[in-house]
Each structure stands twice: as C-alpha cells, then as structure tokens.
Amino acid sequence: MKIAVVGTGYVGLVTGTCFAETGNHVTCVDIDEKKVEKLKNQIMPIYEPGLDVLFERNIKQGRLDFTTNLKEGIKDAKIIFLALPTPPGEDGSADLKYILKVASDLGPILSEYTVIVDKSTVPVGTADKVHAQIAKNAKVPFDVVSNPEFLREGVAVDDFMKPDRVVIGTSSDKARKVMDQLYAPFVRQGNPVIFMDEKSAELTKYAANSFLATKITFMNEIANMCELLGADVDMVRKGIGTDTRIGKRFLFAGIGYGGSCFPKDVQALAKSAQEVKYDFKLLTSVMDVNQEQKTKLIHRAKAFYNGSLKGKTFGIWGLAFKPYTDDIREAPALENIKELLALGAKVKVYDPEAMENVKELFGNTIEFCSDEYAAVDGADALFIMTEWPVFRTPEFDKLQSLLRSKVIFDGRNLYDTQAMEDLGFTYFSIGRKDVDGK
C-alpha cells in the first residue's frame, strides 16, 4: 500500500520506517529542508536504537523516501499519517496549528478517497476539526481517523512493531477496512487492534499518559513518606508491584517524570478538563508534586552543605530525560543544572548521547566531559540524573580517588545503600535511608 507520513520527528520516522518494513511504500514529508536533505542522504537525525538498520534497509529497497513537497509526497497515498507537533500553547492546551495547517493544505490536493490519520497526540474533538478543515476545499471523499501512538523513546521500534495494542478511532466502515489491512502484520503477531469512536481514541492517549504519570508520582510521594518514616521505597515497590492488579512497571521513584510527552499531555488533559468545567484535582496535584520532585536533591545538597552551594563543583551523570535517547525535552537534569548555576556552583557533565543537545542550551557555562570519570574529577560531589547502564556499575575505587569527597546524590536509586555504606560513601537517594559515610 502507498502511505504518506507528514512530519519526520520521532513518531513520523518510526511510523514511516516500520510501515515500510511491513512491505508498504512510504513517503515522509517535512517542511524542514535540512532534515529532509539529511534523510535523503540516509542520515538518521535522531538517536533511536535499532531504527537506523530498518531505515537504511527500506531506503535501499526503495520503500522509503522523503520530500518537502506535500503534493508530491501524498501522490497515490491511500493513507496519510499526520505525525506533527502538538506543543503546549500559552494556556497549556495542545496547540493544533501545525495539524490544522496541514489539514487545510491537504483539502485541495486530495485526488481520490483517502484516509487521513491523526498519529499526533491531540485533544478530544480534533478529528472533527481536521475533518472540517479539509472539507472546506476537498473535491473527493475522505475520512479522518484517530490512531494515537504509544511508543516510548529508546525502545520505539519494539513498541511499534510489537505494540501492546493498536487503538483506532473511526466511525467509517470504509476507513476501518483500510486500517485493518495496514495493521494486519501486527495483528498476526497476536496484538489486538481495538476499534472505537474517534473521541474515545483521542482520550485514550491522554488517559494512558496521565495514568502512567500519576503512577510514577504516587510512588514519588510514597518515597517522600519513606524518607520521613524510615521505610525503603524499593521494598515497598516490590511489595506492591507483585500484586498483578498494580503491576511491576512504572513504579520507580526518582527525580520526577520528564520527556516530550508526560509533562505536556498531563497539562493538556487538565486544560481540556477546565474547558468543560471539570475540576480534575488529581492532575493538578500530579503536576505540582512532579515539579517539586525534580529539584529535590538540590534541597538535600543545600542541607548537607549548611545552606550554601556557592563555589562547590558538582559532577553530573546523565542529561537525557531517560536512557537510550538523546532527547532532553523537559529532562530533570536541565532544571537541576540551572538551579546549581544560580546557586553559584560549578557544573561538569557527561551523558553518552545527549551532550550536543545540551551544548546548544548551556554553551560554555558548564563543562562538557569526555566520560563519566572526567565529570567527577575534582568535584565535591556527584549527582546522578539519568540511569544509563554505564553508570550502574562504576569503578568505585576510581570514583573515590577522583572526587574531592565521597558524596553522591542519586536521583535514580542506582546503588545498594548497604554497599555504599561498606564503601564509605555519603550517599543520598530517593525514598531510602541516607548513608552518612562514617
């Protein structure tokens, strides 16, 4: 089948590549000329494990190509995916300007029946808006379908190729048949395609992300209670996670959720609630708690250093919002770095993939180091912001010889507290007992 994907961000590239991998011919369209030039030269603009191999194979086999020209890109396409940004607008609601612009461009250039699919995360009612926008100038019949995407960065290819489920919102039998055919290879792997109406599909995406953000936030609050009561959040996590009604995943306490999705989607759902005059109290609390959680370790550092971090040097391990990505959107590390600089501290950082993106933001106000050990050389303490595997089993001898004093603030609970006590570190983590290094 011939498919067009409009927008070549994370979602567009993964969607386009994976549909090419299942035998379709895919043309990806983007207005960013430099990006399209790179893509045409087989240069992958994002770091996503496993995607490059599929990307190169499908380009070589002639199933994946790129253009900046929308009309050329959608020629003969039975399905057009919209994988466009929906950033927060000034009031926190999802900004639909990119989607509606492409919808209005599509109207006059559709040449036969086409299924237009919202892959972006969009508020309830967007499929209707997109339909109305296209209908203004369309001369042929078309359907607008909601097909939210649930991939996680870092494991996006697996999430797309072996999804827990595919959600498709449509009230058109004709569109349903087209989508059924497209997702047939995925169903064959035993994953359900769940058909529903457009509005329910749109809300499903926000409900999923907000529920997961709430689950994490709940554990962060339990962690805060553990610290006050002398319990251990890792034990509590194991204790509740083995209850199949609760489940083991997304129960890891830390320095708050970040990334390009949870923060904006929780905010957008809260805004949607406001618009229909519903007071979604839970979401407001989730956002407040998460905000406080992000810089929690700085408060502990301030207490440890008798109120002042001025003149101290801190090594930071991890900048990306999570491992296996170079994405720094809403990464807790950024807020911590800003705060440390504002308090007069010096900062040395290392991340396996995200350094270039952070250089654009901080320039030479912080020191970018060649590896994790260089980042702690001469530092007063280490802050751990992202749980990259390379940080899980460091050479502690080397670490203690490089650090000025053996102090670690760990936002990801990477080390066993007893082991840290045995090694003589002063060790602060989340929801577990402090180790005083004596």
Ligand X SMILES: O=c1ccn([C@@H]2O[C@H](COP(=O)(O)OP(=O)(O)O[C@H]3O[C@H](CO)[C@@H](O)[C@H](O)[C@H]3O)[C@@H](O)[C@H]2O)c(=O)[nH]1
Ligand Y SMILES: NC(=O)c1ccc[n+]([C@@H]2O[C@H](COP(=O)([O-])OP(=O)(O)OC[C@H]3O[C@@H](n4cnc5c(N)ncnc54)[C@H](O)[C@@H]3O)[C@@H](O)[C@H]2O)c1
**Nearest C-alpha neighbor of 147 from the set 186, 189, 108:** 186
Shortest reach from residue 60's CB to ligand X, in Å: 28
Nearer to ligand Y, 49 or 437 (CB): 49
Report d(CA 246, CA 316) in Å as an integer: 33
67 versus 313: smaller Cβ distance to ligand Y: 67
Cβ atoms 336, 383 nearer than 8 A: yes
Contact between 80 and 42 (Cβ < 8 Å):
no
Q: Determine contact, residues 396/421, Cβ cutoff 8 Å.
A: no
Q: Shortest Cβ contact with ligand Y: which residue?
A: 9
Which parts of this chain interact with ligand Y (CB under 6 A)? Answer: 6-12, 29-32, 35, 83-86, 98, 101-102, 120-121, 149, 151, 153, 260-261
Q: Are 369 and 338 in contact (CB under 8 A)?
A: no
Q: Which of 383, 421, 382 is closest to 399 using CA atoms?
A: 382
- CB of 201 or CB of 212, closer to ligand X: 212
User: What is the distance between the alpha carbons of residues 197 and 171, in angstroms, rounded to a whole number?
Assistant: 6
Residue 138 binds which one of ligand Y, ligand X, none, with CB within 5 to 8 A depending on kind? Answer: none
Mapped onto helix, strand or coil, the DSSP state of residue 31 is coil
CB of 62 to ligand Y, least distance (A): 22
**Identity of residue 66:** F
Helix (H) or strand (E) holding 228: helix 198-229
432 Rama class: left (phi>0) / alpha (psi -120 to 50) / beta: beta
The site map against ligand X for 114-143 (x = CB under 6 A) is -------x----------------------
Q: Which two tokens stand for residue 247?
A: 């489940």
CB of 315 to ligand X, least distance (A): 20
368 binds ligand X (CB under 6 A): no
d(CA 226, CA 389): 26
Residue 120 or 220 having the CB closest to ligand Y:
120
Within 13 Å and on the Cβ side, how many CA atoms surround 12?
25
CB of 322 to ligand Y, least distance (A): 11
**Which of the choices ligand Y, ligand X, none does residue 31 contact, using the CB cut-off of 5 to 8 A by kind?**
ligand Y
Name which of residues 150 to 189 contact ligand X (CB under 6 A).
150-153
Residue 32 binds which entry of ligand X, ligand Y, none, CB below 5-8 Å type-dependent: ligand Y
State the distance between the two ends of the chain, measured CA to CA, in whole angstroms: 67
Among 110, 216, 385, 430, binds ligand X (CB under 6 A): 216
Reduce the DSSP state of residue 149 to 3 states and report it: coil
Nearest distance, CB of residue 145 and ligand X, angstroms: 18
Residue, CB closest to ligand X: 261
* Beta carbons of 329 and 257 less than 8 angstroms apart: no
Q: How many other β-carbons are positioned within 10 Å of the β-carbon of residue 162?
A: 11
Q: Could you tell me the two tokens for 391?
A: 């940080």
What is the smallest separation between the CB atom of 35 and ligand Y, expressed in angstroms? Answer: 6
Rule CB under 6 A: which of 261-300 touch ligand X? 261-262
Instruction: Between 78 and 329, name the residue whose CB sits nearer to ligand X.
Output: 329
Task: Report the residue number, 262 or 428, with the smaller CB distance to ligand Y.
Answer: 262
Binding marks (x or -) toward ligand X, 229..268, rule CB under 6 A?
---------------------xxx-x--xxx-xx------
Size of the site for ligand X (CB under 6 A): 20
Nearer to ligand Y, 167 or 399 (CB): 167
CB of 255 to ligand X, least distance (A): 8
303: burial class by Cβ within 10 Å (0-12, 13-18, 19+)? Answer: exposed
> Is 261 an annotated catalytic residue?
yes
CA 58 to chain centre: 25
Catalytic residue list: 261
Positions touching ligand X (CB under 6 A) are: 121, 149-153, 209, 212, 216, 250-252, 254, 257-259, 261-262, 321-322
